[in-house]
Amino acid sequence: MILESRGQISAEYLLLLGSLIVILMISISFIASQNELTMAMAAARSGVNEGSLYASSAIYPSDTFNDYSKKDYEILIPSSVEIVNISYTDMGHDPNFDKQKIQFMVYAHSSKELDKKELDSIGDRINYNLRKSLALTFETAGSTNKLFNPVFSKHYIFTTANVKWI
């Protein structure tokens, strides 16, 4: 009888250990995906700050500068672009890529009164730098186009909505 109770204790420990291993594996999967979203948000903030810095400083490639000069855009004069908020929305499962789709939204404010085309141009630059930062963070620049749209990670596909000016 003593041998049976010892065997029973061993079986209970094995059952407990097996349950803990299953719970641990499920937790690791959840934590890994949350870590990926945390890394994505940090990369997005970095990219948005870089994009707004370039826009505020009026630093453009020569062909873009020449194009804007012909259109007499005000954005060629340095101004202040303030990032108010950066958020993301889970858009659900994307069957084309078999990943969760995440869409980033940037809210910004300009110190100058600019027309819609100029604000869209600054917004495009901010979104481009956001996506570029994501692609560099997840080392997936080679699997997307030159505009980094969309950007991929192990579990997610990232896109951007137009910058909302407030």
Confidence of residue 5 (pLDDT cuts 50, 70, 90): low
Q: Would you call 141 exposed, middle or buried from its count of C-beta atoms within 10 A (0-12, 13-18, 19+)?
A: middle
* Whether pLDDT at 131 is above 90: yes
Q: Of 125, 128, 131, which is closest to residue 73 (Cα–Cα)?
A: 125
Higher pLDDT pick, 45 / 9? 45
Region of poorest pLDDT, from 3-7, 72-76, 156-160: 3-7
* Whether pLDDT at 7 is above 70: no
For residue 38, tell me if it sits in a domain. Answer: yes
Tell me the three-class secondary structure of the chain, residue by residue: CHHHHHHHHHHHHHHHHHHHHHHHHHHHHHHHHHHHHHHHHHHHHHHHHHHHHHHHHCCCCHHHHHHHHHCCCHHHCCCCEEEEEEEEEEEEEECCCCEEEEEEEEEEEECCCCCHHHHHHHHHHHHHHHHHHHHHHCCCHHHCCCCCCCEECCCEEEEECCCEEC
Structure confidence at residue 1 (pLDDT): 47
Higher pLDDT pick, 8 / 16? 16
Higher pLDDT pick, 70 / 44? 44
CA 103 – CA 85 distance, rounded (Å): 14
What would the two tokens of residue 31 be? 């934590």
For residue 105, tell me if it sits in a domain. Answer: yes
Structure confidence at residue 57 (pLDDT): 75
Structure confidence at residue 68 (pLDDT): 77
Buried b (16+ CB within 10 A) or exposed e, 65-82: eeebeeeebebeeebebe
pLDDT in tens, 93-110: 999 999 999 999 999 998
Region of poorest pLDDT, from 8-17, 33-42, 86-95: 8-17
Looking at the 3D structure of the chain, how many domains does it have? Answer: 1
Region of poorest pLDDT, from 30-39, 61-70, 88-97, 123-132: 61-70
For residue 159, tell me if it sits in a domain. Answer: yes
For residue 126, tell me if it sits in a domain. Answer: yes
The strand pair at 151-152 and 156-160 is best described as antiparallel
For residue 28, tell me if it sits in a domain. Answer: no
Q: Would you call 108 exposed, middle or buried from its count of C-beta atoms within 10 A (0-12, 13-18, 19+)?
A: buried
For residue 123, tell me if it sits in a domain. Answer: yes
Higher pLDDT pick, 80 / 126? 126
Q: Which domain holds residue 87?
A: 34-165
For residue 22, tell me if it sits in a domain. Answer: no
For residue 3, tell me if it sits in a domain. Answer: no
